[in-house]
Amino acid sequence: MLQNESVILRGDMIRCALCKDAPCDAACEKLKPSGLLRSVWFDNEQGAALRLSEDNPCRDCDAPCERACVRPGEVPVRRLLGRLYGEVRPMAETPLPQNEDRLKCDLCGIALENPFLLSSSVVASTYDMCARAFEAGWAGACFKTVSSLDIHEASPRFSAVRDSGGGIMGFKNIEQLSDHSVAENMEIFRRLKAKYPSKRILASIMGQNEAEWGTLSRLCEENGADAVELNFSCPNMAEGGLGSDIGQVPELVERFTAAAKRACHIPVLAKLTPNVASMSPAAEAAKRGGADGIAAINTIKSVTTVNLHTFVSAPAVRGHSAVGGYSGNAVKPIALRFIAEMAQNPALAGLHLSAMGGVETWRDALEFILLGGGSIQVTTAVMQYGYRIIEDLKQGLNLYLSEKGFSGVGEAVGLGLDALHATTDALERDTVVFPRFHRESCVGCGRCEIACADGGHQAIRLNEARRPVLDGKRCVGCHLCALVCPQRAITPGRKRVALRSQPSI
């Protein structure tokens, strides 16, 4: 299915609450609408359509699911399912794969049943949480950072930046490390490994000196961890030379990586901070220290939503706040840039890249894979939607790999790197791609004209029928109009070779 159509279909369910034990399921005798709607939300509408039977039971139904909805009448369930039947299913040329063999991959030589792991955070902080995630289908978990520090968290400790629909676009936390003792965490590792031997445990650790980095690495290996992830990047633990303070000093990264490698025999990954201009110096230092891989990115230092009455930014803790870590889908472009930087660095050849930063859907994950990520870690999306998102992450990626004829995830790793350049200097500049207006979809809002007039090159006007008309002599092919169109009614059109001329002043 075309991504444009996916966006439109998802827009129809903007009011869906993605309920637990959804009332729409109880109201429907023939389908479980909630799972299908969730697949639409997570860009797996083709997978949802292929799970449907040939006959559409919604055709003559009076939609009791819509009446049972927690927002009665606000979610057009019957119309959404009808579009899955009538528009998406007929376009699906590849059947759902019968198994998940294509998803098998590895992390530093450790076999993974799929590339999806929980990243080190609150979503992987207890035995019960990890057990439920493993049961749901996650391949493993990077457990919340183990340390000998006495951790006491602030309350509240989260805040968010919301999009126009009210959903969380960016997420800030001032969360610190595991509040369990080292001994308690080791017991959790032993229990998880005994119950789920095929699931992978990455032990995130933070030491206060070389000896402690080594001791924690050894203990984690002895208690069942499959790999160690060195937390050189937590933005909320910078006091006293911890967290992101280490990740900004390559010499410390190299020294503490070497200490961890000397103490254990399992793979060691360095988790690096994005609060730098370039990640390569720290990554190269980690490799010199013996690291087998890099995990990136951790959260970005941030300040969010200053209260206009109290003048305190969020989250406010008794009248004060602090710089914290920013995550969520909003940081994905920054995370992609860092992963690509390291994947294109010949000095880092051979290092596994465990990528994270804003992954919500299988498309997000695939973008990281195409730019060099060998495994994918997720936190913020799980905090919003739960462990259940793994179903669509796996099914969407599996279906894509099948459609492309790939035998496994590894064949897709890095395929987007050759076309990506560090600067715009390498780009061809003699061709203009004009926008194409789809008049059957256009509603005549004029947003394209406004954007072009006030932010572009004054190349669009509305005619008497309120439809856009292009002035080809003025158009430079920037495609701002396509980005602002609420109907997605503007796409790339024909090309022309532009004559070089002096820019107007």
Residues with a known catalytic role: 234
Q: Which residues of 484-501 are buried (b: 16+ CB within 10 A; e: fewer)?
A: bbeebbbeeeeeeeeeee
293 by DSSP, 3-state: which?
strand
The C-alpha torsion from 50 through 55 and 59 to 61, rounded to 10°, is: -100
Sign of the dihedral defined by the CA atoms of residues 438, 444, 445, 446, in that order: positive
Are 399 and 94 in contact, with CB atoms under 8 Å apart?
A: yes
Cα radius of gyration rounded to whole Å, the chain: 25
Q: Which amino acid is at 120?
A: S
**Distance between CA atoms of residues 193 and 241, nearest Å:** 33
The DSSP string of 87-139 is IIGGG--SPPPSS-GGG-EEETTEEESSSEEE-SSGGGSSHHHHHHHHHHT--
DSSP structure class, residue 412: G
Cβ–Cβ < 8 Å for 279, 232: no
Q: Tell me how far apart the terminal alpha carbons of the chain are, to the nearest angstrom.
A: 44
Identity of the amino acid at 55: D
Q: Which residues of 41-54 are buried (b: 16+ CB within 10 A; e: fewer)?
A: bbbbbbbbbbbbee
At 433, the amino acid letter reads: V
Q: What is the CB neighbour count within 10 angstroms for residue 347?
A: 11
